[in-house]
Structure 1
Amino acid sequence: MKNPFFRSVLGDVASSAMGLTYSHEHIIIEDSYLTASHPEFLLNDVEKVSKELSDFQSLGGQTVVETTPANCGRNPLKLAEVSRRSGVNIIAPTGILLEIYYPETHWRYTYSEDQLSDLFIADIQEGIDQFDYSGPIVNRTPHKAGLIKLATGDDAFSAHQEKIFRAVVNAHLATGAPILTHTNFGRQALEQAKLFEKLGAKLDHVVLSHVDRAKEVDYNRAVLDVGVRVEYDSAFRWKTGEPNHTLILLENLLPDYSQQITLGMDMAKNAYWKSYGGGPGLTYLIETIPGFLKEKGLEEYYQNIFFDTPRNLFSFFK
């Protein structure tokens, strides 16, 4: 591609301007079916979210990857507003989250593979629905999706999940948009990677999230050996007195997989946000990871983690 770009909610941006990037965040989660049963996930205060992003921006942060996909609290208008206010690029997703965050009668179960693919493609190429597919009227906004998300749980993939995989890869290959996934504590990550390989996805534009929760170095190595990228976001989650497995994985794997590892916060709970009265806040990685890398003699990988790998990963490939 002559002029690589990523797709933000405010429009396409040259990849060279992506800057310091967090690779898995939840910026806006609107009042929805998801928050009705999980009120701790409600993140819809534009003032508070803009303040947190502005603090991130003041320390050098330039881009965040939002990971709340279709019909589970996504709000493209609020994402656009907080991006404008903070000056932070936001990459918004299409795709489907875990089954538990949707009612049992949801359209995800009845739409065909082609219908799901078409929906994802429309989000990427035409614009995200103002109502996030919550009713019979679709009013597409100018704010387009810049990646596609899917999620799996603890068990072997169901036929329904395999349909989602195929629809996501179809849209990925048709548009050039990158893919980001949820794994439950890293479970089924290796199976995800192998299925993406089988389906013909561009593996260097596929990132599997939360794989640090699997803890084991050899397991993470096996996932990386398939050719996908991984995203770690639990550096602040390990309890006092237990090993910080995220940092252990970085120390062991960065020298061999320097172009395949990214970091994020995944602050889906409002209690993690300083602007909501909690912590550690969105600036945590900027404030802690450089010191860790220096302590371990790994400073040379800072650029890969926060700049080069996200830029290559989240750029469109066609």
Structure 2
Amino acid sequence: MNPFFRTVLGDLPTDKMGVTYAHEHIIIEESFPTTQNPEFLLNEVTKVSEELSEVYAAGGRTMVDTMPANCGRNVEKLAAVSRRSGIQIIAPTGIHLEIYYPSQHWRYSYDEEQLAGLFIADIEEGIDRYDYTGPIVERTGHKAGMIKLATGDEAISAHQKKIFKAVTAAHRKTGAPILTHTNFGNQAMEQVELFSKYGADLEHVVLSHVDRKYDLSYHRDLLQTGVRVEYDSAFRWKETNYTYMLLEKLLPEFPDQITVGMDAAKHTYWKSYGGKPGLDFLLTTFVEKLEELGLKSYFEHLFIKNPSRLYAFK
């Protein structure tokens, strides 16, 4: 079977992925996270489509949405934005960090097999129209193409290990790739150890936000495991830009394992909402900086080759 990736509008061969933003938040519907932080609200299809159309005009072709089950996911809006903008969107399943769910959420009461069953159904059958907010489940034709989990600053808990087992089981059953959230790169090695223990294919696992930790030996140890990493903080640094420093040091050693995105989860980052720098930053300012640093030859690795291997179904 030829390698493929799964978008909200259907499966495509990986050679059609093109320039890829490896970690974004495209739609965040009114939900528990937006009640905690209204800046997370990203649910206006017209404005979101306008922003993604700018990315398309700059050369972008695929984006990975990373708001998983029952914390603001709206797969029908993702599909609408994809049709309007031309951007191919990979939709997630899985579970986010605990802070994005109420304390009595079903994530705590469902067992490993039940959670894995939900993730597998999202991937193989289609994502629930109501995103598991109620007793009725109505599966759409829009399927998940990635599984997400998250850990925080503290040691990985027993509950989080249950999520790891469920996510890895769904990954092994479906071949879907895995994306994780790390807090400032913390617990990254511990995540890799658990994935290795539970039998995940590290070539199809990507750890996000790790460029928030500037520790070269830590990054080298992490990359030597074979896992993929995603850097997304280039536009956030106010003084020393550690993202560019890491890329200068690590791209020559590990050209096949690094991907990039923006993780622009607040509408205050979006031009279409009146914010800045806008999602086209990655294909304008960021690429210009790569050229200035003598790293432009790695563009195809960062934006095309590495994401297409990572997000392919194994």
Point out where structure 1 has 5 or more consecutive residues left out of the alignment: none
C-alpha distance in 2, partners of 1:217/1:44? 38
C-alpha distance in 2, partners of 1:288/1:199? 40
Are the aligned partners of 1:194 and 1:226 in contact in 2 as well (CA < 8 Å)? no
Shift of 1:200: 1.2
TM-score of the pair, normalised by structure 1: 0.98
Counterpart in the other structure of 2:87? 88
Are the aligned partners of 1:117 and 1:168 in contact in 2 as well (CA < 8 Å)? yes
Shift of 1:167: 0.3
String of CA shifts for 1:71-122, please: whole Å, max 9, x gaps: 0000010000000000000000000000011011100000010000000000
- Listed as ranges, the matches of 1:206-285 within 5 Å are 206-239=205-238, 242-285=239-282
Counterpart in the other structure of 2:311? 314
Are the aligned partners of 2:269 and 2:276 in contact in 1 as well (CA < 8 Å)? yes
Point out where structure 2 has 5 or more consecutive residues left out of the alignment: none
Q: Which segment is superposed worse, 142-151 or 280-289?
A: 280-289
Tell me the amino acid that sits aligned with residue 145 of structure 2. G
Counterpart in the other structure of 2:113? 114
Shift of 1:195: 1.3
Shift of 1:299: 2.1
String of CA shifts for 1:155-189, please: whole Å, max 9, x gaps: 11110000000000000010000000000111101
C-alpha distance in 2, partners of 1:220/1:74? 31
Count of matched residue positions in the alignment of Structure 1 and Structure 2:
314
Counterpart in the other structure of 2:172? 173
- Listed as ranges, the matches of 1:137-176 within 5 Å are 137-176=136-175
Counterpart in the other structure of 2:132? 133
C-alpha distance in 1, partners of 2:111/2:197? 20
Are the aligned partners of 1:40 and 1:271 in contact in 2 as well (CA < 8 Å)? yes
Counterpart in the other structure of 2:56? 57
String of CA shifts for 1:43-89, please: whole Å, max 9, x gaps: 00000000000000011100000000000000010000000000000
Counterpart in the other structure of 1:75? 74
Shift of 1:191: 0.8
Shift of 1:199: 1.4
Tell me the amino acid that sits aligned with residue 266 of structure 2. K
Are the aligned partners of 1:19 and 1:62 in contact in 2 as well (CA < 8 Å)? yes
Following TM superposition, where does structure 1 have runs of at least 4 consecutive aligned residues deviating by more than 3 angstroms?
A: none
Are the aligned partners of 2:171 and 2:177 in contact in 1 as well (CA < 8 Å)? yes
Counterpart in the other structure of 1:191? 190
Are the aligned partners of 2:251 and 2:258 in contact in 1 as well (CA < 8 Å)? yes
